Amino acid sequence: MGRKRNPVEPGEFEDPIHNYDPPSYADELERVLCDTEVAQMRIQPLACVQKDATVQDALDVMKKHDCSSVVVQDGSKALGIFSARDVLNKIAHDPSARAKPITGYMTEHPQKVYASDCPAKAINLMAIGGFRHIPVLDIDENVVGILGPRRTTQFLEEHLI
C-alpha cells in the first residue's frame, strides 16, 4: 500500500521510491536465504574437465578432489555435469566406458544459478528439479563455482545457530 503524501511544491525534491516497502523476514535465516547472494556461500573449489576428456579423466579429478561431481566445460562455459549418480547408473557395470568421451556420459544442460542469485533460488532448484549439484555462473556465463549438498547444508546450519 502506498503511503499518503503531501503534494510536492514546484522545484521541491520528490523521492522516486518514497512508497517502496522493503521486504520483511520473520527471522535471520529467511533473510539470509532471500536477501544475500549465492556468491556468499561456499562455491569453491570447483572440479572440472574439458569436453575432450575421457570418463577416466573425470574419475581421476573426482578422486583427486574427493568430490562427487565434475563440471564438463567448453572453455569456461558449462556443457554438462558428471556426478556419482552417473557413475552408479552408467559406469559401475560397464568398465569399457572408462576410455570413452565424458560427453557421452555427462548430464547435459545442467540447471545453473548466477553468483548474484539468492540462496533460496539454488535451494528451490535442488528441491523442485532434484538437482544435487548446480554450477554457479558469473554475469558472462562463465563457471565460477559449484553448489552441492554439503555446501548447502553447511550454509544452512551456520545460519541456524
Give contact residues for other proteins (rule: CB under 8 A): 25-30, 33-34, 59-60, 62-63, 68, 84-85, 87-89, 91-93, 114, 117-118, 120-121, 123-124, 126-128, 130, 132, 139, 149-150, 152-154, 156-157, 159-160
**143, containing H or E segment:** strand 143-147
Nearest approach, Cβ of 53 to other proteins (angstroms)?
Answer: 15
Nearest approach, Cβ of 74 to other proteins (angstroms)?
Answer: 19
Q: Identity (one letter) of the amino acid at 111?
A: Q
> Taking the chain, what is the end-to-end CA distance rounded to the nearest angstrom?
35
- If the CB atoms of residues 25 and 50 are measured against other proteins, the closer one turns out to be 25
| In 33-99, beta strands by DSSP E | 48-50, 69-74, 77-83
**139, containing H or E segment:** none
- If the CB atoms of residues 7 and 95 are measured against other proteins, the closer one turns out to be 95
Question: What is the SS3 assignment for 147?
Answer: strand
Nearest approach, Cβ of 151 to other proteins (angstroms)?
Answer: 11
Sheet order of strands, 48-50 included: 48-50, 69-74, 77-83, 107-108
- If the CB atoms of residues 1 and 127 are measured against other proteins, the closer one turns out to be 127
| Radius of gyration of the chain, Cα coordinates, nearest whole angstrom | 22
Nearest approach, Cβ of 2 to other proteins (angstroms)?
Answer: 20
**Residue 80: what are its φ and ψ, rounded to 5°?**
-170, 180
- If the CB atoms of residues 1 and 128 are measured against other proteins, the closer one turns out to be 128
- If the CB atoms of residues 8 and 149 are measured against other proteins, the closer one turns out to be 149
Nearest approach, Cβ of 77 to other proteins (angstroms)?
Answer: 15
